[in-house]
A and B are shown apart, each in its own frame.
Chain A
Amino acid sequence: MPKRRKLGRGVAIVGAGMTKFGMFKDRDSKDFFTEAFREMLASVDKGLDPKEIDALYVGNFSNDFFAHQSHWGPILSDIIGHAPKPATRTEGACASSALAFREGVFAIASGFYDIVLVGGVEDMSKRTTEEVAEGLALATVPYEGRVGFTFPGVFGAVASAYFAKYGAHREHLMNVTIKSHNNAPLNPKAQFPMTIRDMMNSKTESLRKRGQPAPEWKEEKDFLRDPAVNPVVAWPMHLFDCCPISDGASCLLLVAEEIAKNFTDDPIHVAGIGQGSGRGFHASPDMTTFEATCYAAEEAYGMSGLTPKDVQFAEVHDCFSIAEIVHIEDLGFFKPGEGYKAVAAGLTRLDGPKPINTSGGLKCKGHPVGATGTSQIYEVWTQLRGKAGKRQVPIKNLSIGGAHNLGGTGGTCTFTILERR
């Protein structure tokens, strides 16, 4: 059990920006971060002089491998005109920028800085799929990678354990995929802004144009059962269970609560933050839960005085369909073994009582790994300010949302609770 902790002083988010996520062969991390930075500047209601930013914390998992360049703190500091002020890179695999966010929060809470920019970036599209799989597998623990586990492989194994324990099966995972794809077209930043039905129709149309027989798909699950369009990657993870390879960046402007009104009349407050570390996947006594998530959640709930029931909606780290089911249980939204039933019952839909991954999630929004953590917080910030457009959560008096980020095979997990007061 984590100790109950408080920040030395309150921190608020008063600006946020992100790129569209996708594969952008003609642009690199400097371009992505610059674009996110520009959008962040434009989002600050009462304006920000960039010279006022005291420090930069930026998450990046492995541009060292993906782009053969490390040391991204000063590179990004320079491109946004922040040098010679301090810039620090954080690394926590797919949770890298959630760690940058935490560092920024602590830097302000300590009283040392007043205005901090936090964000993340990743540039993955310049490598083959197999190379990206190898690069990501660098974030497994040594014993996992050595016996051939890839990331889809690890989560495939989690699914096998979940199926055996709770009697769920592959069809239940499809409910997560269909739900994410229903949200994505409502998000202009999403890499795959198409519903499964959109894809069925467009594939059928293109086959018909080529004079080939139309496939016999009646419902979305028929499409997802068809190995021609949804091949296996690491059983039971199929292509549509997996997040894509993506490029992109995201950033957030954090300020001390007492000066937040200088920037906006609608600041979003950091109510709770939590972080846990996990042992190797094999060392976990139960592979249907991530202990680092449970620890992070307890810390965040303890700090905020809030409960899972109070969190009205959340972004969770759905790198794979099974992961979303496990996380909504670990975060306390649903009881262990009940997550897959909740998704099947529509409880996590945009119009359900507990909307999950309104952005489309990693699956459809995209997953440039180092950029994901702060992009999740971007989504929660946008929703809480009522600026999410067509994907706006239709809950009255929306005031509390959560963002859960997971790195590696559960080695680094964070949970952040934001509040509109």
Chain B
Amino acid sequence: MELRPFNDHSYNLFLQQEKLMGSRCKACGVQYVPPRPLCPRCHASDMEWLEMKGKGKLVAFTCITIAPPFMMAQGYDRKHPYCSGVVELDEGGRVDARIEGVDPNRPQDIRVGMPMKAKFLHRRDTPEPETYLAFEPG
């Protein structure tokens, strides 16, 4: 695991293994999810992997009706909206994620501040396997 570069490719490979991974700067201790190869705070490049527990709270969300083509290919459209949001992790840091387990037709029932837990959405209809980070209430 330690040999993987601290980049998006590794982040996505970890997602496929149902792991939410970030990096921690060994020099100043700041952590980032997704991982980063260079610490933007102290500019050091000595990183270590950090596995997140996948717990957090919803800090922003939207329910999208006009979907881009790659989401339409997954069955979403004007009649079938989906929810995307930003989750603040218990360990600190925020991630963009799909939000599952809520009714995108009833956004008034979705609350900023809701406790969330990670879920991994595996897509198998693409040439290469893809996994999207998602969260659901819990």
Contacts and interface: CB of A to CB of B under 8 A. Distances in A.
Contact of B86 (A137, A159, A282): A282
Size bin of chain B's contact surface: 35 or more
A152 B66 contact: yes
Given A142-B8, A282-B86, A157 B60 contact: yes
Interface string B69-82: 11110001010011
Interface string A150-185: 101110111111011000000000000000000000
A236 B107 contact: yes
A147 B85 CA distance: 8
Nearest to B62: A156
Interface string B115-134: 00000000000000000111
B135 to A, nearest CB: 10
A368 B133 CA distance: 33
A281 B96 contact: yes
Contacts of A129: 66
A284 B94 CA distance: 8
Given A147-B132, A164-B112, A237 B62 contact: yes
Size bin of chain A's contact surface: 35 or more
A161 B64 contact: no
A84 interface: no
Interface in A324-357: none
Contact of A153 (B59, B64, B72): B64
B132 A235 contact: no
A189 to B, nearest CB: 26
A144 B61 CA distance: 12
A215 interface: no
Contacts of A233: 64-66
Given A160-B60, A235-B62, A150 B107 contact: no
B84 interface: yes
A70 to B, nearest CB: 21
Nearest to A131: B69
B60 A148 contact: no
Interface string A119-146: 0000000000111011001000011111
A133 B76 CA distance: 14
Interface string B40-73: 0000000000000000000111111111111110
A134 B68 contact: yes
B29 interface: no
Contacts of A281: 86, 96
A129 B67 CA distance: 10
Contacts of B64: 148-150, 152-153, 156, 233-235
Given A131-B69, A156-B62, A287-B60, A143 B34 contact: yes
Contacts of B60: 157-158, 160-161, 287
B61 A157 contact: yes
A232 interface: yes
Contact of B112 (A149, A153, A161, A234): A161
Nearest to A283: B94
B21 interface: no
Contacts of B78: 231
B136 to A, nearest CB: 14
Contact of B62 (A131, A164, A234): A234
A280 B36 CA distance: 13
